[in-house]
Amino acid sequence: MKRIALLVQYDGTNFSGWQKQKNAISVQETLEKAILKISHHCIKTFAAGRTDSGVHASGQVVHFDIDCVIPGDSYSDLLNSFLPSTIRILESIEVKSTWHACYSAKYRHYRYVINNSKFPNLFINNWSWHRYQKVLDEVLMSNASKRMEGEHDFFAFQKSGSNRKNSITKIKKIDIKRVEDLILVDIKATGFLYGMVRLIVGQLVLVGEKKISPEIFTDRWVNKKKNDVKESAPAKGLCFV
């Protein structure tokens, strides 16, 4: 058996997320069907992280085990020939049997893109949140976010339905910057709670529009005021890097 690692990119617009589901089309199911055409066996894939419905990935890492003579670096071209244009394998390699796409990961990196221009941009509309009512203060947003770096309990930024035992995780770095009309929110963490990034961005936008103060933002997550965290950013602006 060989363990093959893939670097996967996908447009999540028309997928129900990464993980297989009974009554919806997922990225995992689509990828495993492509592998089936090569191996003629049902093979399970494992990913570095799960993405929700409508969320994209520019560098999802996946692995699977296969008994096949095909070289590890050939799977990218082979799988791409069976996959829809919304999923691309950027690279494939053979790795050690002890390496795991999820458990060997040192951190995960998500990027959220906000289009803060007055007018929509059709070329990026499917991959960004057009928030145009007010000019966002990205410096205020960045200052409000910095206290979240480190290990904390982010219960306030966890959507209902999570099966995690606790809501403690470690944010390694948060970087918020403006590139012309785009505001990029980059968050690196050892792991993410269900819906965490979209809830954080939803609250930070309120800070950037000066609807809530940085102090209120901090008070909400530090004191686990989940009922006050109601605004969630739409899925289409989120990308698993």
| Cα gap 108→55, rounded to integer Å | 15
CB-based contact 214:140 (threshold 8 Å):
yes
The active-site residue out of 11, 52, 77, 186 is 52
Task: Look up 52 and say whether it is catalytic.
Answer: yes
| Cα gap 238→241, rounded to integer Å | 9
- Residue reference for tokens 């966002």: 136
- DSSP letter assigned to residue 103: T
| H/E stretch holding 217 | helix 214-222
Q: List Cβ neighbours of 221 (8 Å cut-off, separation of 6 or more).
A: 148, 152, 154, 155, 156, 157, 203, 229
Q: What does the angle CA 154 – CA 160 – CA 163 come to, to the nearest 5 degrees? A: 80
Helix ranges (DSSP H) in 40-176: 75-80, 138-145
Tokens of 92: 């494939």
Strands 238-240 and 56-66: what pairing? parallel
Catalytic residue IDs: 52
